[in-house]
Chain A
Amino acid sequence: MLAMPPDDSSERRFVERLQQHDERAFNELVEAYSPRVYRLVARMLGRRADAEDMAQEVFVQIFKSIGQFRGDAKLGTWIYRVAINLCKNRSKYLSRRQDDKQDALDAIVDHQPLHQAKGVTSGQVSRPDQMVEGMQIEAIMRRCIAELDADFREALILRDVESLSYEEIVEITGVAEGTVKSRIHRARALLKQRVSEALGESLP
């Protein structure tokens, strides 16, 4: 799943260094995993302003609890699990404080049917009107994803954005494969419904 360390024995030695709180080993860990952890938490939280702080918290938590890592899963999977759990806790905290409003892009939206969207995103178009349209759709998507239940959002992001296998998602989330599949299915259906509603297209 993740690029380093390359094999089991080197990973074991690396983990031993981490468990001895070897600062150089920990620096290597942060360097290797921070880009992916940052992207994951940014997607999970939907708030890039919080993502950097959250990514730091993930590694602080890893430093504190690396002694509990028994090697049952791969180190990368375990890091993902820590990141996902912290993100879920943060999301709950933010929703309790009703502080989960999204960025300014999701303000005014021209209603457009989903079937006309054709996967248009701001990175794939060149004309200004298409770019605005793409940005609006992206904003709607982000808002709808943020409104999903944390378990559904987690499953959807791990599968459809991070492209992880079901086995990896099972290891990360700690739930049965059937539940994972069910959550992915429900998340897709809910997302489709909400995006369609936001774009002004009635459901079939």
Chain B
Amino acid sequence: MTDSQNPNRERNSSPDSEIDAAEAARLRKLLLGALDPTEEQAPDVLRGVQRKLRERSGGKFYADGWTTTRFAPISTYLVTSLMMLTFMAFIYFVLHPLSGAPTTVRNVPVPVHVVVPRK
């Protein structure tokens, strides 16, 4: 009777001892060769998980639009800030020459005529 046909032996001892050791080692080597995806990088699962949770929770989780990234988007903040500063500087330097010199305002006192109400 072979090992696979003898359930009592299967249940009472380690399966490592059931198959011939060399055969088991060869089988395991083949298994690892066939199933070990060491050459393959695991994909970025996080973004997909966050997207699914956001969709399925109706926006309750991961809803702010920023936490979908792994780290805070510092570069986005910096670029946005620099663009705003550049735009403001541009507007200032374009509009400032157009404004001309300030006009002098003279405050001449005007005589006051007091109107006496008729009785």
Could you write out 17 A-B pairs with CB less than 8 Å apart?
A34-B45, A39-B42, A52-B43, A55-B45, A56-B45, A60-B52, A63-B61, A114-B26, A123-B38, A181-B11, A181-B14, A181-B15, A185-B10, A188-B24, A189-B2, A189-B19, A192-B27
Interface residues of A in 122-143 (CB under 8 A from B): 122-124, 134, 137-139, 141-142
User: Does A85 lie at the interface of the complex (its beta carbon under 8 Å from any beta carbon of B)?
Assistant: no
Q: Within 8 Å CB of A182, what residues of B?
A: 7, 10-11, 15
What residues on A are CB-neighbors of B56 within 8 Å? 60
Are the CB atoms of B45 and A38 closer together than 8 Å?
yes
**Cβ contacts B33-73/A at 8 Å (1 or 0 each):** 11111111011011011101100100001100001001000
Size bracket, chain A contacts: 35 or more
Give the docked Cα–Cα distance between A110 and B56 (Å): 48
A142, A178, A185, A190: the one contacting B34 at CB < 8 Å is A142
Chain A hits for B25, CB < 8 A = 119
Assembly CA distance A175 to B32 (angstroms): 25
| The 7 nearest A-B residue pairs measured at CB | A121-B33, A119-B29, A141-B34, A185-B15, A189-B4, A34-B45, A35-B42
